[in-house]
Amino acid sequence: MSTTVSGKSGTWRNWAGNVTARPAREVTPASVDELRAAVLRAAEDGLRVKAVGTGHSFTAAAATDGVLISPRLLTGIRAIDRAAGTVTVEAGTPLRRLNVALAREGLSLANMGDIMEQTVSGATSTGTHGTGRDSASIAAQITGLELVTADGSLLICSERENPEVFAAARIGIGALGVVTALTFAVEPVFLLTAREEPMPLDRVLAEFDRLWAENEHFEFYWFPHTGNTNTKRNNRSAGPARPVGRLNGWFQDEFLSNGVFQAVNWVGRAAPATVPSIARISSRALSARTYTDIPYKVFTSPRRVRFVEMEYAVPREALVDTLREIKAMIDRSPLRVSFPVEVRTAPADDIALSTASGRDSAYIAIHMFRGTPYQAYFTAAERILTAHQGRPHWGKVHTRDAEYLAGVYPRFAEFTALRDRLDPDRRFGNDYLRRVLGT
């Protein structure tokens, strides 16, 4: 078993740089047995345990002063069952590697988020999602999982085996144990046609129900201080494949969406008064385009500009009113917001702590450029989002506690009771879990 120190000072930082931790030690197990031994040794030493992926969460869900477990050696596909339509993958596998490996095998996930830098266990444990009328989050595509619990046991979980753990652990926020492997439902690789198109915000909101109903995957980005959006519609296609051209892809996805966007955010951070003008230019920078490719090349995009993010799920029918209220709040405030607001949807699922648990949901994600004060914006938006029974994304900034969350999650008590059974001593606890799940 290898043990490493996080950085020169022994400090772990997340991707956005807004969360730091100083673990007593970091362990990088090369097998499930080594991971189980690390959990048992931590118990002997009286230390708490947290597993951490690539640090793309904006919350302190993975922070610990105890043992930090890095799963980076637990990677790769264990098994492909073409008859069952499943693939079993080690927990530390980055989504990027999984997507590429599946494509090589002629397979694909049905839906995915908009980046693929996270590990499969980190992404699913916090409820990472894309957008979909009928297909749900990455965790909703899990058909089985392995979980190392506080006493070192290895639980095999599915709808048939340990079903009550399966119902919760697909989105477990690291509270139930350490996930070591996941089995996903997959299907033969298919083509998606993406249609990206600028559209006035008023039109998007007026036609939202139709745009949602007519497209398998619909999302849009609204630019605060403007009435402009960029919309994206992804639908299955019979082909032929027509990928984004190399020059066009570089110009829009790298030069404009990353390089220029980084530069204008530097300007906006230094001179906030310029932000509305920059927003008007940015919202018109990307032109309409249509392309057809395999799923992960359509669903995901490079995101190199660092930011801090808050995201809430509201009932889908509340989306239009909620977004109008957020727009009105920004318009009448002195806030200067240089990042677009992202809106996506998901159908109801049956996972206890999924943000879409038991209800069709719409997601509103707000961002601020890293290094820019974000608290005033996030606080004002959160007040609106919670007034609509919003559920915060487990991996993104929010201030909610167990009392609030118990009121918006019908199965909250089911999850906490399972946690009491599997981890009575809170071996996998930390300050974040104490706040969101209670003691």
Rounded to whole angstroms, how far apart are CA atoms 242 and 110?
Answer: 20
State the Cα–Cα distance between residues 126 and 102, nearest whole angstrom. 23
What is the structure's pLDDT at 121? 97
pLDDT bucket at 2, cuts 50 / 70 / 90: very low
Bigger pLDDT: 331 or 263?
Answer: 331
Phi-psi region of 225 (alpha: psi -120 to 50; beta: other; left: phi over 0): left
pLDDT higher for 246 or 121? Answer: 121
Amino acid at 377: Y
Closest residue by Cα to residue 126 from 66, 69, 170, 166:
170
Please say whether the beta carbons of 38 and 27 come within 8 A.
yes
Closest by CA to 113, choosing from 94, 90, 92, 88, is 94
H/E segment holding residue 421: helix 412-422
Confidence of residue 422 (pLDDT cuts 50, 70, 90): very high
pLDDT surpasses 80 at 282: no
What would the two tokens of residue 257 be? 């969406």
**Model pLDDT, residue 61:** 94
Q: Can you give the pLDDT at residue 3?
A: 37
- Residues 397-411: tens digit of each pLDDT: 999 999 999 999 999
For 180-239, write each residue's pLDDT tens digit: 999 999 999 999 999 999 999 999 999 999 999 999 999 999 999 999 999 999 999 998
Q: Is 85 left (phi over 0), alpha (psi -120 to 50) or beta?
A: left
Task: Judge whether residue 396 has pLDDT over 50.
Answer: yes
Q: Give the DSSP H or E segment for 188.
A: strand 187-188
Torsion on CA atoms 346, 349, 351, 354, rounded to nearest 10: 20
- What mean pLDDT do residues 258-281 have? 77
* pLDDT at residue 427 is higher than 90: yes
The whole model's pTM is what? Answer: 0.93
Residues recorded for the chain: 439
Side chain identity at 134, as an amino acid letter?
D
What average pLDDT score do residues 242-263 get? 69
| pLDDT score, position 251 | 55
Element (H, E) at 307: strand 307-315
Following CA atoms 173, 175, 180, 181 in sequence, which dihedral angle do they give, to the nearest 10 degrees? Answer: -50
Give the whole-number percent of the chain exceeding pLDDT 70: 95
Q: Two tokens at 402?
A: 């167990």
Predicted local confidence at residue 274, as pLDDT: 82
Four-residue CA torsion sign, 50, 53, 55, 59:
negative
Residue 10: band (very low, low, confident or very high) from pLDDT cuts 50, 70, 90: confident
pLDDT computed for residue 293 by the predictor:
97
The SS3 call for residue 23 is coil
Other CB atoms within 10 A of residue 17 CB? 13
Q: Which of 78-82, 92-96, 299-303, 322-326 has the lowest mean pLDDT?
A: 299-303
Calculate the average pLDDT of the chain: 93
What Rg do the C-alpha atoms of the chain give, in angstroms? 21
Q: What is the pLDDT of residues 75-132, one digit of tens each?
A: 999 999 999 999 999 999 999 999 999 999 999 999 999 899 999 999 999 999 999 9
Q: What angle (nearest 5°) sits at the alpha carbon of residue 158, between those of residues 155 and 160?
A: 110
Which H/E stretch holds residue 150? none
pLDDT tens track for 357-370: 999 999 999 999 98
pLDDT above 70 (res 301): yes
How confident is the model at residue 6, as a pLDDT?
43
CA distance 438 to 406: 10
The pLDDT, as a whole number, for residue 348 is 98
361: Cβ contacts below 8 Å, ≥ 6 apart: 313, 314, 315, 316, 345, 346, 347, 348, 355, 391
DSSP state of 395: T
- CA dist 66 and 23 (Å) reads 5
Q: Which residues contact 182 (CB under 8 A, 6 or more apart)?
A: 88, 89, 91, 120, 121, 124, 142, 144, 145, 146
